[in-house]
Structure 1
């Protein structure tokens, strides 16, 4: 039986799918996980009523969260995904031929189980690749342990594929955690993080960008429209040495070709610069909350 599936990106806004069909529901120790079928975006899953990933548009989010940061590195070998239990970020990272190891630190084993069963297109078999190591548990605990190891891991790419900051993942969107994370990042590493909608979460986005700027030398905001999230959506890259926004079309084309990355559905060399270009209205929305430049 169909039912309306509605999302509330802010207290005063609502959008959704009027004829969605509930496929599965599990209350894990951490959250409620639901899998839905929709006419518009195919199968999707939610966490505590928030939209996470759909088979119809997951490529937009995952391609933009992975490839700009990974392509900024000349030859990324290791990657860490915080969250990412649906496997979409790992699947995109595996496209880079130089990748030797990917750690996916996912809190909830039920997210992995349900998405592997009901959204196989998203992970594309990524968890069956020997280069992918799935660690079930708190990502913050994983990073703390890795940083304290005798020989700390050194990751070239880090992807924040987490629930938003106003969730149990709040502690990972802090300057303290970024500083700890830098202990397990290689000298020429880059991370990517999703920020939210400038139309619904401008104050939150500005606070996240301020914290990133306080911790990393190079921070670049990205934006693209994601249908499942009902809005233009902002992301960011952060690094002490790499600047994805400075990559030219020629460099991107060469790196994509040398890594044999093709058949991308959204991201590409031609649209890369546009990803890092915000409209005046978006800049105006954020400017009222951003701290003055020092």
Structure 2
């Protein structure tokens, strides 16, 4: 059995399990106003970004996360024009949204401006210039305050709200409650939807079930789906929540037709077969989310 190398980056998935990545070279590290950050150059993932010891994104596998978070709801929407991202300072979600020619405006609200600075300097391969797209409105402020106060005061409405957040612990915990979900819902257009990640079902089953329950308390249609994300070391869950939009209703052929008709290219993961397959839940997940 090969033991972990001495220069390994570890992350716990639960109190009883975790995984490691060979570190390589530390490019930059420090402490922002809100969290500790690290940028590493690693043999497996290229440049890799960590916050408070948790893996966030990497050059070589970011598409597993960002393509699934964005395209599952967007391809189900007839013509997404306005989107709100809470978090997502690396720019990966914005980059996927701008693949839609109908997208007119994206508001990105990131609490920690240092995340945006690090993305600009080290992760161009993740955001691909989206942080400088003229359709992007960057706001460095509290996402909770923006949703609760700023957006309602301005009469904002969005076709898609993306919660591209850290795990529901610490400051981010308030952004995973039924109250916050309800406040997001109030900002959605008639066919609007919210999308977010919900965690690892094997290692965080109670957290995942609670998040789905919180979504169901607010939205008529809650659609969990699952994929493997290499950097997160596990099967990972996401969900689309809406009162009207149901991405599960799309067949694989229709998804592929929409991808072609909307001229969405440079997809490394997402396609019609993947879209349908990710909603097929094994029995243990059906029971967990019943």
* Coarse TM-score class (shorter-chain normalised): over 0.9
Match for 1:277 among 261, 270, 280?
Answer: 280
Match for 1:249 among 249, 252, 255?
Answer: 252
Residue of structure 2 in register with 1:103 after alignment: 107
User: Does residue 264 in structure 1 map to residue 271 in structure 2?
Assistant: no
How far apart, in 2, do the equivalents of 1:75 and 1:62 lie?
19
Kindly indicate whether the alpha-carbon contact (under 8 Å) linking 1:147 and 1:183 is maintained by their aligned counterparts in 2: no
Gapped runs of 5+ residues in structure 2? 1-5
Note the C-alpha offset of 1:207: 0.1
Residue of structure 2 in register with 1:119 after alignment: 123
Gapped runs of 5+ residues in structure 1? none
Kindly indicate whether the alpha-carbon contact (under 8 Å) linking 1:69 and 1:190 is maintained by their aligned counterparts in 2: yes
Residue of structure 1 in register with 2:43 after alignment: 39
Secondary structure at the residue paired with 1:200?
coil
Q: 1:20 to 1:282 in 2, by over 3 A?
A: farther
Kindly indicate whether the alpha-carbon contact (under 8 Å) linking 2:222 and 2:242 is maintained by their aligned counterparts in 1: yes
Query: Could you say what the CA RMSD is over the residues aligned between the two structures, in angstroms?
Result: 1.3
Match for 2:133 among 115, 129, 135?
Answer: 129
Residue of structure 2 in register with 1:7 after alignment: 11
Q: Structure 1, residues 168-212: CA drift from partner, whole Å, max 9, x if none?
A: 111110111111112211111011110111110000000000010
How far apart, in 1, do the equivalents of 2:174 and 2:252 lie?
37
- Worse overlay, 269-278 or 87-96: 269-278
Instruction: Give the count of matched residue pairs.
Output: 285
1:278-293 pair list within 5 angstroms? 278-284=281-287, 286-287=288-289
TM-score (norm 2): 0.95
TM-score (norm 1): 0.94
Residue of structure 2 in register with 1:191 after alignment: 194
How far apart, in 2, do the equivalents of 1:127 and 1:221 lie?
29
Kindly indicate whether the alpha-carbon contact (under 8 Å) linking 2:22 and 2:43 is maintained by their aligned counterparts in 1: no
